[in-house]
Amino acid sequence: MLSISRCNNVNDLRSLAKRRLPRSMFHYIDGGADDEVTLRRNTDAFEDYEIQPRFLRPVDEIDTTVTLFGKKLDIPFFIAPTGMSRLFHHTKENAVARAAAKFGTAYSLSTLGTASLEEISEETDGPKMFQIYILKDRELTREFVERCKAANYDALCLTVDVPLAGNRERDKVTGMTMPPRFTMKSFFSFFTHPNWSFNFLLHPDFRLANVVHRVDALGKGAMGLIEYVNSQFDRTVTWDDASRLIQQWGGPFVIKGVLTSEDAKRAREIGATALMISNHGGRQVDGAVASLDVLPGIAEAVGEQLTVLFDSGVRSGPDVLKALALGADAVLLGRPYLYGLALGGQEGVEHVLRCLLAELDLTMGNAGCSTLADLVPDLLTRSPR
Ligand SMILES: Cc1cc2nc3c(=O)[nH]c(=O)nc-3n(C[C@H](O)[C@H](O)[C@H](O)COP(=O)(O)O)c2cc1C
C-alpha cells in the first residue's frame, strides 16, 4: 500500500487522501463552490506562466528566508486558516502548528478551529496569526481581539469573503454533516474506512473551541453549535467595522479575500498592514477570478505600502516561485496541508512542507535564483497557449 513517505508531491498526497478518507471528509476538503470553475482555474492559472531560467550564476546557497510581521520565517510559505481540523485527524490544529514551527514558519488558526487560540499559543512559540470574522455577535469578535493580545498572537487576519456560506455541492452529495453523523448515506463510506472511523469515535473531542463558551453564555442550550455559527455570518459588515477592528487590535492586520486593486487601496486607507489575495480556494464565488490572475495588478497598486500575501491554488514549489515573482511577499497553503494532516497528523503536514521546500529550492537553483529578491516578474513569461 502507498505510504505517505512514498508520496513525491501534493498530487500524490491528494490521491492517497482520496483513498484513505471517508468520502464526505475528502470531498469537504477538496471541493469548491457550485461547478468548481474557480477551483480549477486557481490551479490552471499557474500554467499560464512559464519560468525563464538564467544560468552561470552562483546558486550554491539558496536563501528562502523572509520577514513577516517583524518575525523571520525560514520559508516563504505558511499555513492558511481552515476550520475544524479535528474532522480530519485527532491531533487536529495542534499537530499542524507544531509542524509549522518545526519548519520555522507561521501558523494561522481559524475562528472555527477545534483548538482554542490559547491552546495553540501554548503549543508553539512560532509565529501565529488568528483569523477572525466580524460576527453578528460583535461582543465575541471584540473578545477574540483581547484574547489574541493576551495570548501573544503576532497578527490578526480578517476574512471578508464569507458574507454568506458558499454552495458546496459535493457536501450535499456525500451527506456531509457537522459534526459527522453515521447516517444511512454515509454508513458505507465510514464502514470501509475503519481507521478514520475508529479514531473519530475514540477521540470524540469535536468542538469549536473558540466559540463554544459563547453558545453556553447566551443560553442557547438547545441550539447546536454549528447552527449558532451559521447564524452568526453577518451580511451587513462594512469597511467601517473593519477599521474599528484594526484600531482595537493595534498590531499587524491582514484583510483576507481581496481580489481587486480598489479593495486593496481601501484596505491600506483604513490602516491594514497586509492583504491576502484569495478567493477562499474557490469555495465561495464560483466564476470568481483566479487569485493569480489579479496578483500582478494588485501588487503593483499597493505592493510598496502593504505586505502582499497570496493563496488559492498553490500546489508545488514552482507555484510558490511564480506567486513570489509576481509580487507576493509570502504564500499560504490550504488543501495541501489538510491532505497531509488527514493522512498522518504532524508527520503528514511536515511531509507536505518538506516536498514543497525541496521543490522550491530546486526550482530556484535551476532558475539561477539564490534569494527571494531574485524572484521578479521578469523571471516569468506569459505562456503563448
Ligand atoms: C476545508 C477548508 C476549510 C477552510 N476554512 C477556512 C476558515 O475557517 N477561514 C478562512 O478564512 N478560510 C478558510 N478556508 C480557506 C483557506 O484559508 C484558503 O484561503 C484556501 O484553502 C486556499 O486555497 P488552496 O486550498 O487552494 O490552497 C478553508 C479552506 C478549506 C479547504
Which is the closest atom of ligand 1 to the Cα of 110? 8
Show the cell assigned to 179.
459534526
Average pLDDT of the segment spanning 9-25: 96
| Alpha-carbon dihedral sign for residues 21, 23, 24, 29 | positive
Of the residues 14, 82, 333, 335, which should be mutated to test ligand 1's pocket, given the most ligand atoms within 8 Å of the CB? 82
- Backbone region of residue 107 per phi and psi (left: phi > 0; alpha: psi in -120 to 50; beta: other values): beta
Mark whether 280 is an active-site residue: yes
Per-residue 3-state assignment (H helix, E strand, C coil) for the chain: CCCHHHCCCHHHHHHHHHHHCCHHHHHHHHCCCCCCHHHHHHHHHHHCEEECCCCCCCCCCCECCEEECCEEECCCEEECCCCCHHHCCCCHHHHHHHHHHHCCCCEEEECCCCCCHHHHHHHCCCCEEEEECCECCHHHHHHHHHHHHHCCCCEEEEECCCCCCCCCHHHHHHCCCCCCCCCHHHHHHHHCCHHHHHHHHHCCCCCCCCCHHHHHHCCCCCCCHHHHHHHHECCCCCHHHHHHHHHHHCCCEEEEEECCHHHHHHHHHCCCCEEEECCHHHCCCCCCCCHHHHHHHHHHHHCCCCEEEECCCCCCHHHHHHHHHCCCCEEEECHHHHHHHHHHHHHHHHHHHHHHHHHHHHHHHHCCCCEHHHCCHHHEEECCC
Q: How confident is the model at residue 225 (pLDDT cuts 50, 70, 90)?
A: low
Which is the closest atom of ligand 1 to the Cα of 256? 11
Which is the closest atom of ligand 1 to the Cα of 312? 23
Backbone angles phi, psi at 76, to 5 degrees: -90, 20
Q: Is residue 166 lining ligand 1, measured as CB closer than 6 Å?
A: no
185 half-sphere exposure, CB direction, 13 A CA radius: 11
pLDDT at 217: 61
Write the CB contacts of 93 (distance below 8 Å, at least 6 apart in sequence).
85, 86, 109, 113, 114, 115, 119, 120
Residue 326 CB neighbour total at 10 angstroms: 25
Q: Is residue 83 lining ligand 1, measured as CB closer than 6 Å?
A: yes
Which is the closest atom of ligand 1 to the Cα of 314? 27
Q: Is residue 160 lining ligand 1, measured as CB closer than 6 Å?
A: no
pLDDT at 188 over 80: no
Most confident of 16-20, 187-191, 212-216: 16-20
> Regarding beta strands 253-258 and 155-159, do their DSSP bridges make them parallel or antiparallel, or are they unpaired?
parallel
Backbone angles phi, psi at 47, to 5 degrees: -75, -15
Of the residues 111, 211, 283, which should be mutated to test ligand 1's pocket, given the most ligand atoms within 8 Å of the CB? 283
Average pLDDT of the segment spanning 216-221: 56
Mean pLDDT of the chain: 93
pLDDT at 139 over 80: yes
The residues facing 277 across adjacent strands are: 258, 310
Backbone angles phi, psi at 136, to 5 degrees: -60, -40
Q: Which amino acid is at 47?
A: E
Ligand 1 centre to CA of 370 (Å) is 31
pTM over 0.75: yes
Residue range 273-312, pLDDT digits in tens: 999 999 999 999 999 999 999 999 999 999 999 999 999 9
Residue 105 CB neighbour total at 10 angstroms: 25
pLDDT at 1: 47
Show the cell assigned to 344.
498522518
Q: Which of 164-178, 266-280, 346-360 has the lowest mean pLDDT?
A: 164-178
Q: Is residue 256 lining ligand 1, measured as CB closer than 6 Å?
A: yes
Percent of the chain with pLDDT over 90: 81
Nearest residue (CA) to ligand 1, atom 19: 280
Ligand 1 centre to CA of 142 (Å) is 23
Backbone angles phi, psi at 19, to 5 degrees: -80, -35
Nearest residue (CA) to ligand 1, atom 21: 334
- Backbone region of residue 306 per phi and psi (left: phi > 0; alpha: psi in -120 to 50; beta: other values): beta
Place of cell 469549536: 208
- What crossing angle do the helices spanning 23-30 and 10-20 adopt, rounded to 10°? 150
Nearest residue (CA) to ligand 1, atom 28: 82
Ligand 1 centre to CA of 290 (Å) is 15
pLDDT at 60 over 80: yes
Ligand 1 centre to CA of 18 (Å) is 18
Residue range 75-122, pLDDT digits in tens: 999 999 999 999 999 999 999 999 999 999 999 999 999 999 999 999
pLDDT at 282: 98
